[in-house]
Amino acid sequence: MRIFTTQLRSGLAVVLAGLMAAVAPVDLRAAEHVVPSDALTQRLEAGAAQRAADEAALRGLFGSEAARKTLAASGVNADEAVNGVAALSNEDLAKLADRARAYQADVAAGALTNQQITYILIALATAVIILVIVAAD
């Protein structure tokens, strides 16, 4: 009986494999993906360009001579903030870059006092450093 069961299983496996080969399409690749590869490429390029612009906004802010002096006077290492920018997630980078751009617009418009400028610079640099430390853990 055991030999019969083994032969039955083997025969059934061969029949099922033959049916699957006959029914399955020869080319399993989809003719059209859900999202075209050109669209994916464009989104990736746009994301990379946005990240580069966000990094440039923060590095430009922390790299300015006035910001370096302000941060140094407060005991914050501007180089740590500049170097930490690359380690930020896209979401954190975008949020901080938006704040940096708003800050730079306010400074250009003369809407901030020196004390406010100092506090904002310290807050942004500290946020970058803390986010880098958290991401490293």
Nearest to 61 by CA among 100, 119, 10, 102: 100
- Would you say residue 2 lies in a domain? no
- Would you say residue 101 lies in a domain? yes
Q: Which domain holds residue 122?
A: 51-137
Distance of CA 119 to the CA centre of its chain: 27
Per-residue pLDDT of the chain (137 residues; tens, 9 = 90+): 556 566 666 666 666 666 666 665 555 555 566 777 888 889 999 999 999 999 999 998 888 888 888 888 888 888 888 888 988 999 999 999 999 999 888 888 888 888 888 888 888 998 888 888 888 87
- Would you say residue 100 lies in a domain? yes
- Would you say residue 134 lies in a domain? yes
- Would you say residue 30 lies in a domain? no
Q: What's the domain count of the chain?
A: 1
- Would you say residue 66 lies in a domain? yes
Confidence (pLDDT) at 106: 87
- Would you say residue 40 lies in a domain? no
Alpha helices in 1-136 (DSSP H): 2-23, 37-63, 65-73, 78-84, 90-109, 114-136
- CA dist., res. 125 & res. 103, Å (int): 13
- CA dist., res. 18 & res. 16, Å (int): 5
DSSP label at residue 75: T
- Would you say residue 22 lies in a domain? no
